[in-house]
Structure 1
Amino acid sequence: MRRKPTLAALAADYRNGKIEDELRGDWAVVVFFRVWSFPLVWLFARTAVSPSAITAFSGLLVLMLPASAGLLPLSVAGPAVVALSCAVLILDCVDGALARITARASRFGGMLDFLVDMAHWGLLYASIGLLADRVAGTGFFWTALGCAAGWLRLYARVVRDAGPAKAEATADAAAGISSGVLGGISAGEVLVAFVAGLSGAIPLLLLAGWAFGSIGWLVVFLIAYAVTDVVDAGLQSFGRAAS
């Protein structure tokens, strides 16, 4: 019989290691999106919907990002891209939690989740560039920069994965981050965790840019953010290889 967890059980499962991982590199997801996943996991655990089906549906939403940015009326294109991206981030929380809590995790599901995640960031960056061009009437200038930022983001992941396996963070460091206390971790590690976790706030930064009628600055930020990610990934990978 399939397990039907309570909301308390879902929260306990999340506190059992997952929250520490996300606070180290995905704090914005914890703050803005994770809470909305709990009732959805509770609901889907009582249906025949599989984690992979949720991931596949999320993939369809990802494919709608550039179409929404380029084809919808300009008055609603920006909010539509924000809503789609936020939905993808919430569903990304749902599928993994559902797989864990119902013991339906699989290698196929993990691979599909990774591919959808990479597609989301690449197409979101391109969509932000397209929106910036539509708002400013600049042809495809910002679109090209958005695509470049998306490519750099994905390349950073390639660089990071090319190095030796990363050692697990110590329990003391994880506890220090989750409790908000700097004991056990350095200020530099906290700064790195903060910068890394900003990616989850990108849809909300887009909403702010849309509200103020200027999205070009966000594309510039995405370029700088992606370059920083590549440099950090290279330093980590080569550092592990040399150790």
Structure 2
Amino acid sequence: MKVELLPDERVDMLYNDDVHIIQSKNVFSFSLDAVLLANFAQPRKGGRGLTVDLGTGNGAVALFMAHKVTGNIVGVEIQERLADMAKRSVMMNDLTDKIRIINADMRDIFDDIRPGSADMVVSNPPYFSIDNDQTIIHENEHYAIARHEIMADLELVIYTAKKLLKNKAHFYMVHRPDRLFEILATLQKNHLSPKRIQFVYPKAGEPANVLLIDAIKDGKLSGAQILPPIITHNQDDTYTDAVWSIYEGRQQHE
């Protein structure tokens, strides 16, 4: 479906050009993290149930996951501009019967999404906490809200995921390794048990800079797996074959 673009917008394509997404340099665009999260998430039973994407931004994760699930996806985004871009991207991909975008604070979504109704929740939340003078916030409001915990912090995202999920359903999140222990503590506080953790490294021999985590609601604390690492770049700064396979939609989960 053809949609109207604003003057500052462009259309990027992914998965061998099967997915079209509206982007703008003036708002926060999706990154490799969103692609990694969509690849990491493993829908149960063919994804027939409801999937919720908290902090969907311009709809990237929801769009990237549409081919993995047979059920509906709801994307929640507090920023009106990004929610509008997401809605138009959904239209562009002819997915309005599968993906719905809600422009709302995640505190206020439970009239639209019944608590305990989601089979899967995914999130690529703001990574950086607000700690007074130690945090430098980007001057662009759209970037600041997307990167920093201004509108939604880790506690809110994880609590909301817990409230949305059915018993034994899964929450998938991408975040930063330097907040790993805070993430694990907050998951446990909300009765979400980590089951799969994967670290992502910018290059071989460098510290991890991305964390992927899969947690189950009301699951046992035992049985967690640390998956093999993902290395995103070769020494010449090109993407590794593993990352290209994810970008092109060739990689399937084990």
Query: What TM-score do you get using the length of structure 1 for normalisation?
Result: 0.33
Query: Which of these two proteins has the greater Rg computed from alpha carbons?
Result: 1
Structure with the higher helix share, 1 or 2: 1
Structure with the higher strand share, 1 or 2: 2
Query: What TM-score do you get using the length of structure 2 for normalisation?
Result: 0.32
Q: Which structure has the higher relative contact order (CA within 8 Å, separation 6+)? A: 1
